[in-house]
Amino acid sequence: MSVHFLLSAAARTLSLGSIYKAGEAEAYKTFCAIRWTETNGEAVCPRCGCVECYEITTRRKFKCSACRHQFSVTSGTIFASRKMSFVDLCAAICIFVNAVKGLSALQLSRDLDCQYKTAFVLAHKLREALAAEVENHTLDGEVEIDGAYFGGSVRPANFAEDRVDRRLSENQSGTRRVVIAIRQRKGRTLTFVGKSEAEGVELAARVVSRKSVVFADEAGHWDRLHRAWIVGRINHREAYSADGANTNQVESFFSRLRRMVAGQHHGVSPKYLHQYSAHAAWLEDHRRRSNGENHRAVIGNAVHHPVSTVWAGYWQRHQEH
């Protein structure tokens, strides 16, 4: 009997135990090695590119011999001004990649014994960094497109006589959004947040090669896809798959995102929905990779991602939370 990938030993190449056993110095070395791969972890000045840098060992900083700029391994990256130790950051990323249905900030704060606010911002920074993996990415070959609505539900009133028709827009909360996912079979999943699924046609025009074959369900707005692509349609009232026409891959992304939103985040504000979508897409696309490889990839994304305009200093700007 074949073993599910996540149950196999090949899926487990990293553990929290090994991270803490290796300790802070090793975690720091890991960050240097991943940020400066071309020089085997030797510091490179981010300002002028010079490789001759003095190490100020006690402060884990470097000083460029050419332009005198002082920097650290996380300067100018999404981890700039970090307060967390490197070993805790490594552990946080391990917990993050192991959580295949996403991770709430509350759970991360408990596992790391850090403030909720710290965990909240850290997890969002990681999501921002991993989303950049597919920035400007285009899709080719067999591509599936679909949309799913999230949020905006209004709790029904206790007494039946007070209840309103929740299908009417005037009785909705205004926070309902659609996630549109476009997924290449054996390729990447791109996600977008909008107000209506029909926006997916314009999005596809931006990111899907004209040589692709596109698969969509029976919803009327997808008829417009036929103008630009060969399109396989599947009518879900009749079957989930027929003659190779199906949207099963993109559906499995939505199933992960639904479980993430319902089980970890317990509902989601439209403000963060794009982050959770990108996170679920990343998990889906890398589900067959070991946790060690995913860990390395997230550190790599993070140390090559610039300071976040959204999440750097987030709590200084949002005191009222």
Where helices occur in 100-178 by DSSP H, the ranges are 105-112, 116-131
How many residues in the shown chain lie near Zn ion by CB under 5 A? 8
**Out of 29, 60, 69, 221, which residue is the one contacting Zn ion (CB under 5 A)?**
69
- Looking at beta carbons only, is 71 or 254 nearer to Zn ion? 71
- Looking at beta carbons only, is 67 or 310 nearer to Zn ion? 67
CB of 29 to Zn ion, least distance (A): 22
Question: Which residue is it, tokens 């850090």?
Answer: 114
Integer Cα distance of 23 and 28 in angstroms: 9
CB of 62 to Zn ion, least distance (A): 9
**Out of 3, 16, 25, 67, which residue is the one contacting Zn ion (CB under 5 A)?**
67
Site string for Zn ion, 36-65 (x = CB under 5 A): ---------x-xx-x-------------x-
CB of 54 to Zn ion, least distance (A): 11
Instruction: Could you list the beta-strand ranges (E) of the chain.
Output: 53-56, 61-64, 70-71, 142-150, 177-184, 189-194, 213-217, 230-234, 241-242, 245-246
CB of 51 to Zn ion, least distance (A): 10
Burial 189-211 (b: 16+ CB within 10 A, else e): bbbbbbeebbbbbebbeebbeee
CB of 46 to Zn ion, least distance (A): 8
Which tokens is 318 given?
A: 């949002």
Decide: is 268 part of the binding site for Zn ion (CB under 5 A).
Answer: no
* DSSP three-state, residue 48: coil
Question: Could you give the maximum distance between any two Cα atoms of the chain, in Å?
Answer: 76
- Looking at beta carbons only, is 66 or 239 nearer to Zn ion? 66
Instruction: Catalog residues that contact Zn ion under the rule CB under 5 A.
Output: 45, 47-48, 50, 64, 66-67, 69
